């Protein structure tokens, strides 16, 4: 069989199982990354597992999401993470160093390696030819403790790239084009692998933009070959020694193949409120805009920001627009400062903010009421910007910068502008933002825990009768931002589940927490792609805390489904999606003989109010069944240790 690059890397890392689509395998994890907003839970869990040393080749704890420090909570979380990192041999990246994915690409990602990260955009490093997967925090904690990760072998979609992008059309437009075609659920259970002649016309940071937003397809990950452009990128970061050449076999067997002619693409935008609601910029028309935000793990590379600086040079940001720019890393910001590009941005009237996630996760820069914001980010879910009635459009850096000048959504081609080519740069190593764990260990470093850090909830072992009342009937594509919103007010409480629980589903059903408290045991009903978006396991831990026993949906997003199982909440899929229509708030449902039923292909849920039996499908692997029986992954691991 002619092998895909995905299969080659998985095969090299296979610990157990058969590398056959749909089967469960366990692979070796070489590297892990965490960020602070999921990291506090990861490190509480790592401490709970009481391991002596981590088993990965390299693990890094980044602080990039929650850097406002509006109160002691942020700073306490950072100190906590730093102390656990030192105890376990984990590299710690201080706030201000940059966004985890950009930093990992620059400093640590390596072709052919595996990376597991507690953030859904971990696939960014797929741009370097590695298998980089986003997962829930507990899975990352276990990967550090045991050096492994289990997954169901996904299908591999091949995307053949031909031709070359025109000026003013960039990597963001490639992934927006794919999102339009495949939608936000098109990648679930799949890995997207790029190949073909057009690959050589994309730099590593272009590729990283594409693999980053593969997360919005719901894909397990996305990957590019490692070629001369990879060598050049690694060399620019002083890491040429990490280069290996990697690609799929010629005529590799993909489960599906799509072809994209890069030269046929045009500037695109994802319209409110979904990354797959894509149209071309001229089609949408010159709508008046209030804010432009450039940055995030999708589009904050050196070349992205140099393009922006060149466009802004000698120009003025439109009077009605607030332009805000957050560079991806301290190295990038420092280079922009050295070569004068930063001055072009500031002189044009741009606000420069910290190298961090910032507005992407609602940490400031919320648009005005009813405002229109153009962002180079990856998600435009309703309310994510912090303003419920704002309209967010996702665009490329080029489109964002030109639009900021004109005050309307527009692009360089429509305006007949010229775009200067970007000169490649070599970056100096700067690890002054890094705390190495050298000389520290468990015996000489105590865990530093502030008062806001509360224990995480644990489930109980599966009982024979699992019941509850329907506390929410949600629609399609419910996001983890809906289940557990995050913004500047809530992000400081990522280590305080009881506090967060008061805001679960706050943006779509503020009565949800009180309804759960009244019901004591609750059930959530969802549509297709339930739990899309972030990897935050808070979207499972908070429902667990609120007494949710199971969720029945038309389908689930991958990471959220795993997080539910890790927490011992049973994710069930309607065998007949029409049964969804009959379920109403307040109805009582029960799974009888749950311990037995959990092993079977079809699980019957009885509606006590109507007497109807609903057929659901679990499709659980053996490992998942063990977790559900034990009441979650931690209970399962503790049980195995006895």
Contacts with ligand SF4 by CB under 6 A lie at 65, 99, 119, 121, 296-297, 357, 360-361, 377-378
Q: What's the Cα-to-Cα distance from 322 to each of 294, 313, 368, rounded to whole Å?
A: 11, 17, 10
Of 515-534, binders to ligand MIC (CB under 6 A) are 533-534
577, two tokens: 């999606």
Distance CA 362, CA 66 (A): 10
Shortest distance (Å) from residue 379 CB to ligand SF4 = 6
Q: Smaller CB distance to ligand SF4: residue 102 or 150?
A: 102
Shortest distance (Å) from residue 503 CB to ligand MIC = 14
479, two tokens: 């996001």
Please provide residue 132's backbone torsions phi and psi, each rounded to the nearest 5 degrees. -120, 115
211, two tokens: 């693999």
Shortest distance (Å) from residue 121 CB to ligand MIC = 5
**Residue 486 interface partner, choices ligand MIC, ligand SF4, none, CB cut-off 5-8 Å depending on type:** ligand MIC
Of 61-100, binders to ligand MIC (CB under 6 A) are 65
Q: What's the Cα-to-Cα distance from 261 to each of 95, 139, 165, 258, 366, rounded to whole Å?
A: 40, 38, 9, 10, 37
Distance CA 328, CA 355 (A): 5
121 binds ligand MIC (CB under 6 A): yes
Distance CA 216, CA 182 (A): 10
Q: Smaller CB distance to ligand SF4: residue 86 or 121?
A: 121
477 binds ligand MIC (CB under 6 A): no
Q: Smaller CB distance to ligand SF4: residue 534 or 555?
A: 534
Of 361-390, binders to ligand MIC (CB under 6 A) are 361
Query: Residue 597: how many CB atoms within 10 A of its CB?
Result: 18
Query: Which element (helix H / strand E) includes 34?
Result: strand 31-34
Shortest distance (Å) from residue 251 CB to ligand MIC = 35
Where would I find the beta strands (DSSP E) of 455-565? 466-473, 522-525, 548-553
Distance CA 450, CA 51 (A): 22
222 binds ligand MIC (CB under 6 A): no
Q: Smaller CB distance to ligand MIC: residue 37 or 410?
A: 37
Shortest distance (Å) from residue 411 CB to ligand MIC = 25
In this structure, what DSSP letter does residue 458 have? -
The CA-to-CA distance between both ends of the chain, in Å, stands at 43
Query: Which element (helix H / strand E) includes 295?
Result: none
Residue among 536, 558, 560, 629 that touches ligand MIC (CB under 6 A): 536
37 binds ligand MIC (CB under 6 A): yes
**Residue 535 interface partner, choices ligand MIC, ligand SF4, none, CB cut-off 5-8 Å depending on type:** ligand MIC
**Residue 38 interface partner, choices ligand MIC, ligand SF4, none, CB cut-off 5-8 Å depending on type:** ligand MIC
560 binds ligand MIC (CB under 6 A): no
Distance CA 605, CA 236 (A): 57
Shortest distance (Å) from residue 298 CB to ligand SF4 = 7
Stretch that binds ligand MIC, among 116-124, 171-179, 196-204, 255-263 (CB under 6 A): 116-124
Distance CA 380, CA 389 (A): 12
Name the site residues for ligand MIC (rule: CB under 6 A). Answer: 37-38, 65, 119-121, 361, 486, 533-536
């Amino acid at each position: 069989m002619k092998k895909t690059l995905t299969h080659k890397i998985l095969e090299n890392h296979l610990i157990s199982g058969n590398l056959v689509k749909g089967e469960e395998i366990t692979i070796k994890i070489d590297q892990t990354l965490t960020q602070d907003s999921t990291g506090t839970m990861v490190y509480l869990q790592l401490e709970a597992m009481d391991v002596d040393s981590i088993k990965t080749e390299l693990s890094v704890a980044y602080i990039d999401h929650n850097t406002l420090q509006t109160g002691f909570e942020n700073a306490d979380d950072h100190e906590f993470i730093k102390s656990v990192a030192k105890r376990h041999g984990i590299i710690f990246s201080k706030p201000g160093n940059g966004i985890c994915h950009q930093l990992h690409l620059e400093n640590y990602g390596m072709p052919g390696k595996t990376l597991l990260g507690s953030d859904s955009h971990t696939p960014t490093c797929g741009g370097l030819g590695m298998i980089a997967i986003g997962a829930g925090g507990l899975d990352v904690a276990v990967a550090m403790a045991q050096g492994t990760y289990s997954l169901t072998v996904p299908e591999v979609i091949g995307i053949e790239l031909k031709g070359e992008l025109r000026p003013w059309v960039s990597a963001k437009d490639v992934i927006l084009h794919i999102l339009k075609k495949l939608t936000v659920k098109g990648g679930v259970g799949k890995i997207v692998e790029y190949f073909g002649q057009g690959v050589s016309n994309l730099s590593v940071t272009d590729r990283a933009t594409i693999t980053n937003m593969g997360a919005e397809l719901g894909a397990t990950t996305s990957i590019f070959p490692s070629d001369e452009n990879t060598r050049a990128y690694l060399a620019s970061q002083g890491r040429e020694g990490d280069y290996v050449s990697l690609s799929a076999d010629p005529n590799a067997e993909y489960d599906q193949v799509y072809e994209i002619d890069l030269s046929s693409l045009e500037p695109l935008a994802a319209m409110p409120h979904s990354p797959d609601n894509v149209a071309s910029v001229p089609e949408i028309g010159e709508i008046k805009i209030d804010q432009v935000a450039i940055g995030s793990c999708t589009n904050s590379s050196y070349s992205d920001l140099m393009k922006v600086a060149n466009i802004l040079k000698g120009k003025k940001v439109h009077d009605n627009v607030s332009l805000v720019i957050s560079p991806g890393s301290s190295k990038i910001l420092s280079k922009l400062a050295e070569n004068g590009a930063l001055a072009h941005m500031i002189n044009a009237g741009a606000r420069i903010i910290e190298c961090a996630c910032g507005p992407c996760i609602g940490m400031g820069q919320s648009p005005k009421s009813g405002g229109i914001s153009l962002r180079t980010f990856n998600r435009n879910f309703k309310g994510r910007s912090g303003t419920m009635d704002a309209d967010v459009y996702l665009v490329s850096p080029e489109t964002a910068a030109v639009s900021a000048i004109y005050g309307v959504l527009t692009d360089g081609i429509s305006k007949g502008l010229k775009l200067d080519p970007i000169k490649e740069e070599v970056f100096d190593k700067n690890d002054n933002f890094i705390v190495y764990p050298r000389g520290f260990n468990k015996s000489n470093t105590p865990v530093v825990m502030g008062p806001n850090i509360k224990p995480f909830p644990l489930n109980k072992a599966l009982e024979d009768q699992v019941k509850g009342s329907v506390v929410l009937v949600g629609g399609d594509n419910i996001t983890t931002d809906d289940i557990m919103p995050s913004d500047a007010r809530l992000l400081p409480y990522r280590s305080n589940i009881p506090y967060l629980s008061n805001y679960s589903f706050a943006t779509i059903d503020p009565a949800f927490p009180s309804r759960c408290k009244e019901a004591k045991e609750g059930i959530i009903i969802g549509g297709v792609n339930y739990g899309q978006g972030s990897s935050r396991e808070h979207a499972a831990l908070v429902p667990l805390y609120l007494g949710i026993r199971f969720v029945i949906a038309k389908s689930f997003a991958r990471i959220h489904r795993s997080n539910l199982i890790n927490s011992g909440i049973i994710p069930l899929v309607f065998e007949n999606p029409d049964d969804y229509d009959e379920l109403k708030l307040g109805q009582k449902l029960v799974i009888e003989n749950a311990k037995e039923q959990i092993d079977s292909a079809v699980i019957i849920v009885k509606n006590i109010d109507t007497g109807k039996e609903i057929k659901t499908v679990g499709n659980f692997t053996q490992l998942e069944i063990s977790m559900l029986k034990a009441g979650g992954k931690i209970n399962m691991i503790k049980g195995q240790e006895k």
